[in-house]
């Protein structure tokens, strides 16, 4: 299953790429003669230090940026009837323009480039699953699902698939023209959907083998995919029992959806100053989901990067600093996957570590640190984790570790052997009593009640958390821009295949959606 998964990522990368170097488009001329007279004062600038860079971060500046971004999200209103910065929308294009405009007035401190890439974007307009004429409200269409035939309802018997449906032989012959009923587990949802499609099913339903609803993604589109729903295990259980007892269940499935490939772009800014063979890299994502404006997710992270990038220009650096604004994160980490997939090996080695900043200001926040460890992640990941921990401890703040399981743009870096980590403040998860004691806020309520929703606006930001975490972003940049002393070298033996296997086995998410 792991192998399958890795190939799907690779095939996505080759979808329209010529090569990284020919695709990446420099936006600024790197010749020294382009610098304004007296403008290259880097030699006279003080070497960056953490305290001063942190002190340059103000919530007023961040909030002004958030207000700009919210205005930009409204550019999509005509098409979407609400503000959004989803890829392909005017709100997203406006976001890209805003990032580039902000960086391009920084006196050539950075080399700017865009990296266009093909992105699959899916939309489900309407869906319905009936079993024995009863509407199954908890059925959730998978992301990137194709529509049912002719975007019309399809009827058939519900046919229970053997085992977990990871093998073509698990599909009985009477699946043809009927609806496959498949247990979750072992292989990605996309594999199950493709097997069902090849066996002639007109739709598929994957039911959960764990507690709770099943909101998943089919991943890279395939011609074999059929319209696919996820279903909670508790809802499926009585149907499974009846099918096993030999009963016949009639079902009707309907999905009106569209999957298309569009072009979007990453933005990369790298300091001209600093050792280009030893870069500290950090990223946030420029896009939002279609449901809302994404001011916390990931306005908070991407604007924190923009503000730190702006303030850094007052300093010189010893090591190169490379900022990235990824696109297509919400469709499944598309931009960051693309970036690492086309990165030549010798360029990969120059990235000493990657720091992910996705959602830094959740309204009911926790100070979360990705639990990246050297025994299961590229060596150096744990040193980065401890940099965050030490900072919170130093500031008398509490923190928690959260799983490092593929939910954000660090995933591709880890899979390509680059040490990584990051911080976050929480998404749809529910704050516990214990966490309310650690961080304040409300127990029993999601960290971000507006996660992936229309209300992810300026009022969805906790400004205390945002300012504080942006100072921590500044600390991380200043620390490594100054020195990698004590930070492990990038050598081949720092990434054991075994460790990466363990990571892959434990990674259940690819972006916000479960894929397996
Ligand atoms: C740089 O330093 C100057 C002088 O302290 C300050 O006025 C300015 O706001 C700082 N930031 C930038 C981005 O120039
Ligand atoms: C950290 O957590 C403890 C409870 O374990 C709490 O008493 C303390 O106030 C918390 N610190 C902060 C800064 O919230
Ligand atoms: C942010 O969170 C802190 C701690 O829970 C709280 O005191 C403050 O009122 C919150 N601020 C905003 C703007 O939500
Ligand atoms: Zn995000």
Q: Is 441 in the pocket of ligand 3 (CB under 6 A)?
A: yes
The domain segmentation of the chain, as residue ranges, is: 16-120+261-505, 133-248
User: What residue owns the CA closest to ligand 2's atom 6?
Assistant: 438
Which ligand 2 atom is at minimum distance from the Cα of 396?
13
Calculate mean pLDDT across residues 455-467.
98
At residue 234, φ and ψ (nearest 5 deg) are -65, -30
List pLDDT tens digits, range 268-310: 999 999 999 999 999 999 999 999 999 999 999 999 999 999 9
Q: What confidence score (pLDDT) does residue 38 get?
A: 42
pLDDT at 65 over 50: yes
Q: What is the value of pTM for the model shown?
A: 0.83
**16-120+261-505 adopts what CATH topology?**
Aminopeptidase (3.40.630)
Q: What ligand has the least distance to the C-alpha of 409?
A: 4
Cα(449) to centroid(ligand 3), Å: 14
Q: Which residue intervals of 416-462 are DSSP H helices?
A: 433-439
List pLDDT tens digits, range 88-128: 999 999 999 999 999 999 999 999 999 999 998 888 889 99
Pairing of strands 203-207, 228-231: parallel
Confidence of residue 510 (pLDDT cuts 50, 70, 90): confident
Which ligand 1 atom is at minimum distance from the Cα of 106?
13
Q: What percent of the chain has pLDDT over 90?
A: 81
Which residues line ligand 1 at a C-beta cut-off of 6 Å? 310-311, 313-314
Calculate mean pLDDT across residues 462-491.
97
User: What residue owns the CA closest to ligand 3's atom 11?
Assistant: 462
- Would you tell me how many other CB atoms lie within 10 Å of the CB of residue 6? 13
Q: What confidence score (pLDDT) does residue 387 get?
A: 98
16-120+261-505 and 133-248 agree in CATH topology: no
Radius of gyration of the chain (CA): 24
Residues 6+ apart with CB under 8 A from 483: 318, 319
Cα(439) to centroid(ligand 2), Å: 7
Cα(314) to centroid(ligand 1), Å: 6
Calculate mean pLDDT across residues 420-440.
98
In CATH, what class is 133-248? alpha beta
Burial (CB count within 10 angstroms: exposed 0-12, middle 13-18, buried 19+), residue 19 = exposed
Pairing of strands 319-326, 275-285: parallel
Q: What confidence score (pLDDT) does residue 431 get?
A: 98
Which residues line ligand 2 at a C-beta cut-off of 6 Å? 396-398, 437-438
- Minimum mean pLDDT among 179-193, 404-418, 487-501: which range? 487-501
Mean pLDDT of the chain: 90
Q: What confidence score (pLDDT) does residue 492 get?
A: 61
Q: What confidence score (pLDDT) does residue 4 get?
A: 27
Cα(199) to centroid(ligand 3), Å: 54
- Give the active site residues: 329
Confidence of residue 27 (pLDDT cuts 50, 70, 90): low
Confidence of residue 28 (pLDDT cuts 50, 70, 90): low
Which tokens hold the place of 255?
């999905």
Calculate mean pLDDT across residues 209-227.
92
Confidence of residue 13 (pLDDT cuts 50, 70, 90): very low
pLDDT at 369 over 50: yes
């Amino acid at each position: 299953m792991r192998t399958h998964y890795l190939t799907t990522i690779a095939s996505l990368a080759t979808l329209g790429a010529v090569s990284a170097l020919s695709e990446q488009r420099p936006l600024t001329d790197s010749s020294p003669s382009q610098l304004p007279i007296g403008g290259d004062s880097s030699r006279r600038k003080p070497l960056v230090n953490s305290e001063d860079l942190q002190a340059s971060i103000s919530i007023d500046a961040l909030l002004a940026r958030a207000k700009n971004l919210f205005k930009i999200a409204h550019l999509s209103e005509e098409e979407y009837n609400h503000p959004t910065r989803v890829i392909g929308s005017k709100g997203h294009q406006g976001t890209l323009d805003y990032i580039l405009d902000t960086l391009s007035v920084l006196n050539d401190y950075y080399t700017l480039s865009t990296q266009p890439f093909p992105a699959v974007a899916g939309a489900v307009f309407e869906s319905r699953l009936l079993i024995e004429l009863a509407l199954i409200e908890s059925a959730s269409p998978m992301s990137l699902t194709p529509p049912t035939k002719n975007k019309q309802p399809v009827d058939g018997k519900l046919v229970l698939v053997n085992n977990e449906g990871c093998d073509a032989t698990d599909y009985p012959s009477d699946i043809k023209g009927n609806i496959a009923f498949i247990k979750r587990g072992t292989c990605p949802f996309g594999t199950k959907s493709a097997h069902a499609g090849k066996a002639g099913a007109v739709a598929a339903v994957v039911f959960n083998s764990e507690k709770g609803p099943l909101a998943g993604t089919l991943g890279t589109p395939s011609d074999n995919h059929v319209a696919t729903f996820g279903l909670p295990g508790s809802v499926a259980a009585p149907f499974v029992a009846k099918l096993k007892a030999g009963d016949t269940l009639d079902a009707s499935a309907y999905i009106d959806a569209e999957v298309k490939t569009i072009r979007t772009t990453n933005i990369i800014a790298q300091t001209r100053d600093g050792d280009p063979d030893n870069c500290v890299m950090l990223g946030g994502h420029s896009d939002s989901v279609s449901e809302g404006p994404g001011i916390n997710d990931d306005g908070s992270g991407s604007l924190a990067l923009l503000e730190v990038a702006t303030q850094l220009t007052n300093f010189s650096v010893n090591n190169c600093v490379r900022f990235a604004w990824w696109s297509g994160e919400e469709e499944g980490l598309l931009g960051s996957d693309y970036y690492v997939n086309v990165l030549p090996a010798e360029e990969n080695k120059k990235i000493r570590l990657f720091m992910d900043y996705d959602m830094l200001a959740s309204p009911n926040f926790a100070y979360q640190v990705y639990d990246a460890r050297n025994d299961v992640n590229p060596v150096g990941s744990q040193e980065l984790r401890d940099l965050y921990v030490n900072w919170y401890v130093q500031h008398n703040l509490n923190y928690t570790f959260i799983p490092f399981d593929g939910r954000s743009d660090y995933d591709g870096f880890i899979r390509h052997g680059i040490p990584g980590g990051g911080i976050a403040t929480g998404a749809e998860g529910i704050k516990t009593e214990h966490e309310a004691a650690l961080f304040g806020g409300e127990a029993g309520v999601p960290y971000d009640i507006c996660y992936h929703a229309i209300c992810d606006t300026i009022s969805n930001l906790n400004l205390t958390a945002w300012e504080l975490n942006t100072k921590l972003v500044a600390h991380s940049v200043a620390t490594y821009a100054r020195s990698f002393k004590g930070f492990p070298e990038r050598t081949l033996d720092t990434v054991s295949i075994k460790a990466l296997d363990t990571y892959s086995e434990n990674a259940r998410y690819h972006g916000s959606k479960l894929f397996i």
